[in-house]
Amino acid sequence: MRYTWPKMKLCRREWINLFWTEKYDLSKNHRKPMGKWGFGKMSDFSLQLRKKQAAKRMYGVTEKQFSAYYKKALKLNWILWENMLRLIELRFDNVVFKSNFARTIMQARQFVGHAHFLVNWEKVNIASYSLKVWDVIELREKLKESPIYKSLVEEFKEFMKTNKSWSITNAKWLEVNPDKLTIKLIRVPEKDDFDQTIDVQKIIEFYSK
């Protein structure tokens, strides 16, 4: 079941900007954090739970999905926490969001669900679809003239004028072409690519009990 209540309540509950947008910048919100943050010491379990809930909500996945990524990561070689985050980062909706083709992870999921994009020239409308290196995501031709994407193109153009040496995305494992509106996965995300606010060790401790 997905959370549909006000998003700022979620951010105040975890005391972190879960959605990477200025709208949910807690430095501009002077209300006290919700729950036990700042109200005495938390138990190990409570802290593990909060870290898990925060990460789960940042990626916009359900508890069932998040737990499944942990179980899948256990079966893979390499480091458990890197495996888990890499699996989630490679979700279709997350890649669309990290490429700045959507303003929030929720909007990215909506765009994917409405089949706005092609993956390797095939229609894919599954948000959890796992992408691979060298996969190419392309906005469908008939949508390039829609108001929302025409606006996006203008934003990209304006950004490139003032930041000529910068990429459209901060995700170094993605290559975004702002003219053709394509995204290419040029490598898998590595340790330094993950959001450093995510405490994966606490999440693993939570699930390993």
- Residue 167: pLDDT band (50, 70, 90) is confident
pLDDT of residue 1: 47
Per-residue model confidence as pLDDT tens digits over 89-110: 999 999 999 999 998 898 999 9
- Residue 50: pLDDT band (50, 70, 90) is confident
Per-residue model confidence as pLDDT tens digits over 177-197: 988 999 999 999 999 999 888
pLDDT of residue 28: 53
CATH 1.10.1050.10 in the chain, residues?
A: 7-88+196-207
pLDDT of residue 98: 94
CB of 62 closer than 8 Å to CB of 1: yes
For residues 69-88, give the mean pLDDT: 93
- Residue 133: pLDDT band (50, 70, 90) is very high
Pick the CATH number of 7-88+196-207 from 3.40.50.300, 1.10.1740.10, 1.10.1050.10, 2.40.50.100: 1.10.1050.10
Instruction: Please give the class, per CATH, of domain 91-185.
Output: alpha beta
Angle between helices 44-59 and 7-14 (to 10 degrees): 140
Angle between helices 200-207 and 80-89 (to 10 degrees): 100
Task: List the 136-139 sheet strands across, edge first.
Answer: 122-123, 117-119, 136-139, 182-185, 174-177
Q: Which of these, 58, 115, 114, 116, lies nearest to 89 by C-alpha position?
A: 58
State the alpha helices, DSSP H only, in the chain. 7-14, 44-59, 63-74, 80-89, 92-98, 105-113, 147-162, 200-207
Question: How many percent of the chain have pLDDT more than 90?
Answer: 53
Residue type present at position 199: D
CATH 3.10.290.10 in the chain, residues?
A: 91-185
What torsion do the CA atoms of 205, 73, 82, 194 make, to the nearest 10 degrees? -90
The owner of tokens 């700045």 is 100
Q: What is the mean pLDDT of the chain?
A: 84
CB of 6 closer than 8 Å to CB of 26: no
For residues 10-37, give the mean pLDDT: 54
pLDDT of residue 51: 85
